[in-house]
Each structure stands twice: as structure tokens, then as C-alpha cells.
């Protein structure tokens, strides 16, 4: 077979999502053929993203440093928090220009089948934020799937207990049922925002 360093590279590449053994091999050979500068630039980019990009200590969005640009932005309304499943859901929401508050990234949705219980997503952190700060409204923007809906209902239940004064709303339906926020278009999402309802 190949020399151990090549085998190691193939093994690492094949662990990436969507990359099988064959593709990993092709990529590895491509890297071998590349100039030193190109290969080093790739390695440096990987190292840099891991060194510099982490998660925001407040909202768990991606952040360069301890806090993300949204949490650092004074113009954003700290009284409203929009709860999403993944950080990938923030960008489509931002594109609507309808929302001027801050976010909270759960890192998933409740799914007993997959062994995801309330402790496994960032709910405790959310409740802490909501009770501690000057928050007046929480908009739940989990996906309109079975797991996303159940997560929304669970959060609403809990918030009514821990923060009875806070208004809890849910994005209006009109989003495709069973869909992902990530793939919803701006107009639909914007409308969903404008028509959010109380939970």
C-alpha cells in the first residue's frame, strides 16, 4: 500500500462528511501533486479556523473570539432572543432583515429516538439568559419538523415556569411543513417572522 503519511492523510480525509474512500484518495493525490505553497495554505487555513473560530460564550453562534459579532453589536436589541437549532439557521434569518434582537443556538432538537433529551441541547443556558437579562420576548424558530415543534413546545412550557413575564412566540407557519429553516427563502421566512404567534 501507500507510505504511512499518505495513508494517514487518506484516513483523515475520508472522515469528512460525504467523502468516501475513493474520493479521499483522489483528494490526497491532488494534494501530493500540488505546489508546496498551495498545500501549506490549505493546512494553514484549517489550523487558523480551528484556532480563531470558536462558539460565542453567550449565544453559541460561531465567533472569532469569545463573542460573536451579533452579541458584540450594540445596536442589536438585547430584549429579544431568537432560538434556533443550528448556527446555520442564523444566516437565513439575518437575510430577512426582520429581526434585530439576538440569537440562541441550541445545537440540536429534542429527539428521544436519537437519545437527545433536554439536557443534551443548550436549554439550561437559554433559561439562564432569559431569567438573568432584560429579556422580554423569546422567538422560537426551531424547524417546522416533528422534533423542532416538540422542542418549541417544551421550551415554551419551561419558560412559562422559569420566566412567566417573558412573551414566548413561535414563527408563523407558512414555512414548508417538515422543512428546514436553512432552505426556506427570505420572503417566506420574513413573513413567518412578521406573523409570529404567542405560545
> Of 5-13, 18-26, 70-78, 109-117, which part binds Zn ion (CB under 5 A)?
70-78
C-alpha to C-alpha distance for 162 and 131, rounded to whole angstroms:
7
117 binds another protein (CB under 8 A): yes
Report the distance separating Cα 13 and Cα 25, nearest Å.
8
Residue 147 contact partner, candidates another protein, Zn ion, none, CB within 5 to 8 A by sort of partner: another protein
Q: Which three cell numbers stand for residue 196?
A: 409570529
The angle formed by the CA atoms of residues 90, 161 and 84, to the nearest 5 degrees, is 10
Interaction pattern, residues 1-40, with another protein; x per rule: CB under 8 A: ----------------------------------------
Q: Decide if residue 154 touches another protein (CB under 8 A).
A: yes
Among 19, 31, 39, 71, binds Zn ion (CB under 5 A): 71
Among 24, 61, 90, 110, binds Zn ion (CB under 5 A): 61
Least distance between another protein and beta carbon 114 (Å):
4
Q: 10, 28, 58, 82: which one contacts Zn ion (CB under 5 A)?
A: 58
**Residues making up the chain, counted from first to last:** 199
178 counts as binding another protein under rule CB under 8 A: yes
Which of another protein, Zn ion, none interacts with 59 (beta carbon under 5 to 8 A by kind)? Zn ion
Please report, as ranges, the residues that interact with Zn ion according to CB under 5 A: 56, 58-59, 61, 68, 71
Please report, as ranges, the residues that interact with another protein according to CB under 8 A: 110-115, 117-118, 146-147, 149-151, 153-154, 157-158, 177-178
Amino acid at each position: 500500500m501507500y507510505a504511512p503519511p499518505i495513508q494517514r492523510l487518506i484516513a483523515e480525509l475520508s472522515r469528512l462528511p460525504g467523502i468516501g474512500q475513493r474520493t479521499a484518495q483522489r483528494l490526497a493525490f491532488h494534494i501530493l501533486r500540488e505546489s508546496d505553497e498551495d498545500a501549506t495554505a490549505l493546512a494553514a487555513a484549517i489550523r487558523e479556523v480551528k484556532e480563531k473560530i470558536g462558539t460565542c460564550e453567550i449565544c453559541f453562534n460561531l465567533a472569532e473570539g469569545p463573542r460573536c459579532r451579533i452579541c458584540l453589536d450594540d445596536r442589536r436589541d438585547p430584549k429579544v432572543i431568537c432560538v434556533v437549532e443550528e448556527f446555520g439557521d442564523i444566516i437565513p434569518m439575518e437575510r430577512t432583515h426582520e429581526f434585530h434582537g439576538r440569537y440562541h443556538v441550541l445545537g440540536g432538537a429534542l429527539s428521544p429516538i436519537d437519545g437527545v433529551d433536554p439536557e443534551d441541547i443548550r436549554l439550561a443556558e437559554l433559561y439562564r439568559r432569559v431569567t438573568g437579562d432584560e429579556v422580554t420576548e423569546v422567538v422560537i424558530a426551531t424547524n417546522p419538523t416533528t422534533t423542532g415543534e416538540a422542542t418549541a413546545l417544551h421550551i415554551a412550557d419551561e419558560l412559562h415556569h422559569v420566566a412567566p413575564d417573558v412573551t414566548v412566540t413561535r414563527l408563523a407557519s407558512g414555512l414548508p411543513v417538515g422543512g428546514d429553516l436553512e432552505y426556506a427563502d427570505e420572503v417566506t421566512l420574513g413573513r413567518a417572522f412578521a406573523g409570529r404567534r404567542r405560545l
